[in-house]
Structure 1
Amino acid sequence: MMITALLVPVVAVLGVVTSLRVEDIDMDWVHRQQASCRHMPFPKVAYVVAWAGPLLGLTAMAVCVLLARWIRRRCGLRLWDTWPGLLAFVCAMLNVPPILLELFMLWTTYSPDMSGPILGDCG
């Protein structure tokens, strides 16, 4: 039970970190295009990382629900009646806004950049 309860915050934090990594990949791609003065294809790893964020966030929520069901069946207690369950519950509730961030980062990965790439002074 303890390991499962600690898995919720770890997976939730990993979801946020991977979603923020999408922005780093995008900025690195822009800088490489500007340095080479040509259009380059968008890195495929950005799509993988963008999908990993929401999947990890939703996995944290699913682990919390499964832990709640396990505690209810095994001990006859509610999730927040045990301190590991309370930790998992609080982390899961705090994970709701980051899931929205992760979904937004996924959407921005697939949305076209209307301004177009700015290659700088390539003359």
Structure 2
Amino acid sequence: MATSPSGDSLDNAALQRRITPGMLVAALSVPLLTVAGPAASLHSEDIENDWAHRQQDACRHMPFPNAEYVAAWAGLALGLAAVVVGVVLIKRIRRQYRDRLGDSWPAILTYISVFLFLCLNVLAVPMELIMVYVTHSNAGSLVNLGDC
């Protein structure tokens, strides 16, 4: 007569199956979104500087580039998306593992990395908000063309 497997082996097998490819993709997207958000926001500053230099070289006022709006708002959207994905992922890991979080190394690694990148995002999102404000304030100002 065959004996049923012990409860301990079932718990460990269930813990190993709970790390899904979707969870790993979400865990890897948090660092990527955290880096892409400030990069896009800072790119809006490069677009604004290039716009100002082109106006000075041409000695005439040019329309404000829409790409700067897109870059500033994309940076903010990416930063907020990283926060949302990170919070949802941490809640999911806590709900699935409850008090047995330490039993699986992928869960521990995912949880720690997402938490660290969320802390970085707490600093990045205000900078991205400031870049959106700067973009909209630059749109209304005229560039000093100098002696033309």
What's the offset of the Cα at 1:94?
1.2
Q: CA RMSD in A?
A: 2.2
Partner of residue 71, structure 2? 49
Q: State the alpha-carbon separation in 1 of the partners of residues 127 and 100 from structure 2.
A: 29
Tell me the alpha carbon deviations over residues 75-99 of structure 1, each in whole angstroms, 9 at most, x when there is no partner.
2258896111110111111111111
Q: Which runs of 4+ in 1 moved over 2 A?
A: 72-81, 112-116
Superposition TM-score, scaled by structure 1 size: 0.89
- 22 and 102 in structure 1: CA distance in 2 versus 1, 3 angstrom threshold: same
Q: Which of 37, 42, 59 matches 1:20?
A: 42
For structure 2, the residue ranges without an aligned partner over 5 or more in a row are 1-22
1:94 aligned to 2:104? no
- Percent identity of equivalent pairs: 47
Counting only pairs closer than 5 Å after superposition, residues 14-93 of structure 1 correspond to structure 2 as 14-77=36-99, 82-93=108-119
Q: State the alpha-carbon separation in 2 of the partners of residues 117 and 17 from structure 1.
A: 25
Q: State the alpha-carbon separation in 2 of the partners of residues 43 and 84 from structure 1.
A: 40
Q: State the alpha-carbon separation in 2 of the partners of residues 55 and 35 from structure 1.
A: 33
Aligned residues: 122
Kindly indicate whether the alpha-carbon contact (under 8 Å) linking 2:73 and 2:132 is maintained by their aligned counterparts in 1. Answer: yes
- 78 and 105 in structure 1: CA distance in 2 versus 1, 3 angstrom threshold: farther
Superposition TM-score, scaled by structure 2 size: 0.75
For structure 1, the residue ranges without an aligned partner over 5 or more in a row are none
Instruction: Return the index of the structure with the highest Cα Rg.
Output: 2
Partner of residue 103, structure 1? 129
